[in-house]
Structure 1
Amino acid sequence: MAERMVPSPRYERLRQLLIEAEDRAHEVRQAYQRASSAMRSGQVWTGPTATTWTNELEERRRSLGRLAQRVVDAVEEELRRSPPLVTEAEADAMRREMAGRT
């Protein structure tokens, strides 16, 4: 007789992690938006140094956004590889592993 299938603890943890990663990625993409907009307005600081500084700020903002998206993509990929249902024995083993008791 086949063992009963139950929700995978690993899958559920990855789903939670994905939600958190997406939230943090959104925050990162918005992190320097106000400062960048203020600098671009020409009312905060002007001149060649200000332009250089603003360009660097915007590049770092874009870079952080790309890195945050890579984290989201990695969690999504791992979630796709994980079955949502596993046997009870597999679920128990996953819980032990997640608790550091392998």
Structure 2
Amino acid sequence: MAERMVPNPRRERLRQLLVEAEDRAHEVRQAYQRASSAMRSGKVWTGPTAATWTTELEDRHHRLGRLAQNVVDAVEEELRRQPPLVTESEANAMRREMAGRT
């Protein structure tokens, strides 16, 4: 008799992780917008050093945004790899693994 198929617990954990990663990526994309806008306004700090600092801030902000999106993309890719259903024994093994009891 074939073993009963159950929802893949790893998929559920990856869905939760994806929501969290998307939330953090959104926060990262907005993290320095106010500082950047203030610097670009010319009312906070001006001059060559200020321009260099602002450019570096924006470059790092964009890089951080790309890295955060890479995390989201990696979680999505792993989620796509996971089958929706697994055998009950596979699900139990996954739960033990996720709980650190391998």
- Which TM-score band applies after superposition, normalised by the shorter structure? over 0.9
Residues paired across the two proteins, number: 102
What SS class does the counterpart of residue 95 from structure 1 fall into?
Answer: helix
| Aligned-partner Cα distance in 2 for 1:33–1:84 | 39
For structure 2, list consecutive stretches of 5 or more residues without a partner in the other structure.
none
What are the superposed Cα offsets for residues 8-41 of structure 1, whole Å, 9 maximum, x if unpaired?
1111000100010000000001000000000000
The two structures have a TM-score, normalised by structure 1, of 0.97
The CA RMSD over aligned residues, in Å, is: 0.7
Take 1:17 and 1:84, find their aligned partners in 2: how far apart are those partners? 16
- Separation in 2 of the partners of 1:56 and 1:83? 43
1:84 Cα deviation after fit: 1.5
Give the structure 1 partner of residue 20 of structure 2.
20
1:96 Cα deviation (Å)? 0.6
- Identity %, equivalent residues: 86
Which amino acid is 2:20 matched to?
A: E
**Is 1:72 aligned to residue 72 of structure 2?**
yes
Query: Normalized against structure 2, the TM-score is what?
Result: 0.97
Q: Tell me the equivalent position of 2:62.
A: 62
Structure 1's consecutive aligned runs of 4 or more residues displaced over 3 angstroms after TM superposition are: none
Partner of 2:98: 98
* CA distance in 1: counterparts of 2:64 and 2:99, whole angstroms: 31
- The DSSP-based 3-state class of the residue aligned with 1:43 is coil
Between the aligned partners of 2:47 and 2:30, the Cα distance in structure 1 is 25
Where structure 1 has 5 or more consecutive residues not aligned to the other structure, the ranges are none
Q: Post-superposition shift, 1:3?
A: 1.5
